[in-house]
Structure 1
């Protein structure tokens, strides 16, 4: 919940919300419920929400949403695990598995300020896949490795599949819809 007021106002509203939820059999988790200022930011469903000053302005401040460090860490762990698989497998196997994971993660986080995160993830995935290829072909030099597994270029590809590039995913910023959003409360009491 977002509250326009002081910390004491948020405490009162938290107790009121708890009393409203209790007849429905729901309760607020004390571990997950946090009262913080929006300038300090908060993590919610993998997103980091925080108010920052807009670059190039003096007094304009906006709330930005970008992937949290925990969400980025989880995708990096998945990429590490997938790139630790058996080197006797053909390149298509890890590429298919990585593509599935990367497409899902980028589809979820494309609705925010994720451009820089996607570029970072691109570099991280490339390093991991190239490391897997270097372990697989220990005696190959760099030129031979690129010719065999990257089509003579830099991005890992085979005839069947190409490694998904997170940096090519277009991000979409949330646009304010205001009164166009229908209200579930009609105002009848």
Structure 2
């Protein structure tokens, strides 16, 4: 999504499409053991977007830091035209949902008399 085909696309368009894709992945995999994978994917997408922005605008690392950090030296979220990059690492992963009443007991007779 941040390769040669999207190099000339507007950053807002790229953010919209990436958000759609990552929200779909998050909804599909939120019941698995994927917290570590979400962290890695989040970092990968962020760095690819930063690389895309640096290439497009011919910015140095200092320009990126100046543009995307707050006065408190914390990173701001990547955003364009009010559209913010979805952080997939912030998704709550819930495993082992409680289903005690719906699991059939194999030792009970099916039709107790």
Quickly name the TM-score band, shorter chain normalised.
0.7 to 0.9
How many correspondences in the alignment? 102
The equivalent of 2:84 in structure 1 is 162
Task: Compare relative contact order (CA 8 Å, sep 6+) and give the higher one, 1 or 2.
Answer: 2
Ranges in structure 2 where 5+ consecutive residues have no aligned partner: none
Q: Residue 134 of structure 1 corresponds to which residue in structure 2?
A: 54
Larger Rg: 1
Mark the runs of 5 or more structure 1 residues left unpaired by the alignment.
1-81
1:123 to 29, 37, 43: 43
Moved over 6 A (4+): none
Report the Cα distance in structure 2 between the residues aligned to 1:160 and 1:154, rounded to whole angstroms. Answer: 13
The structure with the largest strand share of the pair is 1
Q: In proportion to residue count, which structure has more helix?
A: 2
Deviations 1:108-150 (A, max 9, x none): 1111221111101111111211121122112x222323444x3
Please provide the CA RMSD for this pair.
Answer: 2.3
Instruction: With the length of structure 1 as denominator, give the TM-score of the two structures.
Output: 0.47
TM-score normalised by the chain length of structure 2: 0.75
